[in-house]
A and B are shown apart, each in its own frame.
Chain A
Amino acid sequence: MSTLLSLKNLTKRFGGLVAVDHVSFDVETGSIVGLIGPNGAGKTTVFNLITGNYRPDEGEVVFEDRSIKNLPTHQIVSLGISRTFQTIRLFQKLSAIENVLAGCHCRMKAGSLAGMFRPPAQRREERQALETALQELQFVGLHDDAEQLAENLSYGNQRLLEIARALATQPRFIILDEPAGGMNNQETAALIETIRKIRDRGITVLLIEHDMSLVMEACEHLVVIENGAKIAEGTPQAIQNDPKVIEAYLGTDEE
């Protein structure tokens, strides 16, 4: 097993508030890793630092032995990291298939002139992209809703559509921010299957989740942060029995 992503002393401050405080951890290639912690612990901020939405004040983000901390988000995506958002951010007024085609974008080449004049390469590429997009929709089970507007999908399906869009970028590493948020038990169970299938495609998964049943069942490795700092790391079993983690969670009345 090799290290795919490595965070080193990552720190982010907002004014006087230290949102992320010297956080370091590694993600092994091919694993499913959970990032957990009480609300407001800084989990999403860690994600935003990895994906380039925020710039770290200190520390390093290394992906496949390359520092990515100063790259723009779209470039990080084309290097092979994609994500979903905690507050669903789909293109609500566009159809499901077009949402997934957004993910295909970074693997396509046609520019504006090719769009106007449609040389054979452009037509081929469009067809290819449509096939990829439909495959990803099928992968998450939404192929029957391909022409529905994103805003007309149920909450759970919107989460799945975001995952399909992220997969369409052909990532090696996918970051899921509360993928089970708003899902019922049945949908969550299916999601766990989907997450495993993603990993079986060779894509490493890092996720934030509050649903502990999902975290314990799906993840092989957990990182716990509280108040921006890492307080524990290990297998789900080890984390469950870690006194510091129990204290953090009981203190905030989480599960």
Chain B
Amino acid sequence: MKNKRIVIYVAFGVILLLSPSFLNAYWVDVLNNVGLYTILALSLNIILGHAGLFHMGHAAFYALGAYTTAIINTTYHIPILWLLPVSGLVAGLAALVVARPIIHLRGDYLLIVTIGLVEIIRIALVNNVFGITGGSNGIFGISRPVLLGWKINKPWEFFYLIWGFAAVTIFLFDRLEKSRFGRALNYLREDDVAAEGSGINTAHYKLIAFVIGAFWAGMVGNIFAAKMTIIAPESFNFWESVVLFMIVLLGGRGSIPGVILGSFLVLGLPEIFRQFATARMLIFGAFMVVMMIFRTEGILPPLPRKYPIAKVLGREGSV
């Protein structure tokens, strides 16, 4: 069973890695978007999937990262990839400031507040706040990233940048969810009174979950800005947050393979349904309802963590 999974993952990885060689530019660009949403959804998964916080405003942090990059790059001409951590920091700091007073809100109250956040940010961007966001036209003329002297320009070049970043994210987040930190998030999701009663500072962990999620979303914003070279508020509206929310829940809360699959389905299916033209979103909506009825925990729910129990018990037995 476990081996079968690994075989599937490896095969999937290899096909994905080679895909720019047999796909045209349009489909490579679709995969690029899937990649960006995969990273975004993985970062939301920490907050929504692991910590169980109803956060439907993730596009707000994504927007902050993209605008940070766009503003600094177009004003001071600092190379894009240098701004990657800067964008993450700005979004992470914003999360720290914003989340602190609202983190104690329960379920649906938190949901509407996070929706409010994304709307406030979008409106601020549209209204050209501080005169630096370019209003509803946004910002254009963002430069392309240069990685080790190679200018990233074409879709296939972005493909490897985006999916390389996704691979690093998957690697780090997989470790994170199997650590003390990841467990703490699951404890407070299951029962925050019991978690606190077991000695876990639940408010702190909720906050850090937000900060890490926002930090990553900010970095994705950076790559998005470089890929588009022009950004506008409408790329970061409430609907984007809803899409991310759906990816995590459809794929499987707290499951990295689930979230990746979710991104492919939510972004890819409407592309595949293109033959149905205007009815594609209708079919997609029905698909989501049916999917949730038959796979209520998502398509690929997380597997339980494994611990080397036999090994430890064996050693103790011998002592």
Contacts and interface: CB of A to CB of B under 8 A. Distances in A.
A165 B201 CA distance: 16
Contact of B180 (A97, A103, A105): A105
A116 B176 contact: yes
A125 B183 CA distance: 14
B190 A92 contact: yes
Nearest to B177: A115
A83 B198 CA distance: 8
B183 A98 contact: yes
Interface string B299-319: 000001101110011001000
B197 A89 contact: yes
A139 interface: no
Contact of A146 (B175, B181, B309): B309
Contacts of A114: 179
Contacts of B308: 130
A106 B179 CA distance: 14
A112 to B, nearest CB: 4
A94 B186 contact: yes
Interface stretch (A6-14, A73-81, A228-236): A73-81
A102 B312 contact: no
Interface SS of chain B = helix
B194 interface: yes
Nearest to B185: A112
Interface in B177-216: 178-184, 186-187, 190-191, 193-202, 208, 212
Contacts of B199: 74, 77-78, 82, 102-103, 105-106, 169
Interface string A98-133: 100111011010111011111000100111011100
Contacts of A94: 186-187, 190, 304
A85 interface: yes
Nearest to A89: B194
Contacts of B201: 72, 74-75
B172 interface: yes
Interface residues of A, number: 50
A112 B312 CA distance: 25
B184 A105 contact: yes
Interface SS of chain A = helix
Given A94-B186, A112-B208, A122-B179, A53 B197 contact: yes
Residue of B172, B201, B307 most packed against chain A (CB within 10 A): B307
A197 interface: no
Contacts of B186: 91, 94, 98
A143 interface: yes
Contact of A110 (B180, B200, B305): B180
Given A73-B197, A131-B316, A101 B304 contact: no
A96 B193 CA distance: 18
A93 interface: yes
B180 A134 contact: no
**Top 3 closest pairs, chain A to chain B, by CB:** A115-B179, A106-B199, A77-B199
Interface of A: 51, 53, 72-75, 77-78, 82-83, 85, 89-95, 97-98, 101-103, 105-106, 108, 110-112, 114-118, 122, 125-127, 129-131, 134-135, 143, 146-147, 149, 165-166, 169
22 contacts: A51-B197, A53-B193, A72-B196, A74-B202, A75-B201, A77-B197, A83-B197, A85-B193, A91-B194, A93-B190, A94-B186, A94-B304, A97-B309, A98-B183, A101-B183, A102-B183, A105-B199, A106-B200, A112-B212, A114-B179, A115-B182, A135-B316
Interface of B: 172-173, 175-176, 178-184, 186-187, 190-191, 193-202, 208, 212, 304-305, 307-309, 312-313, 316
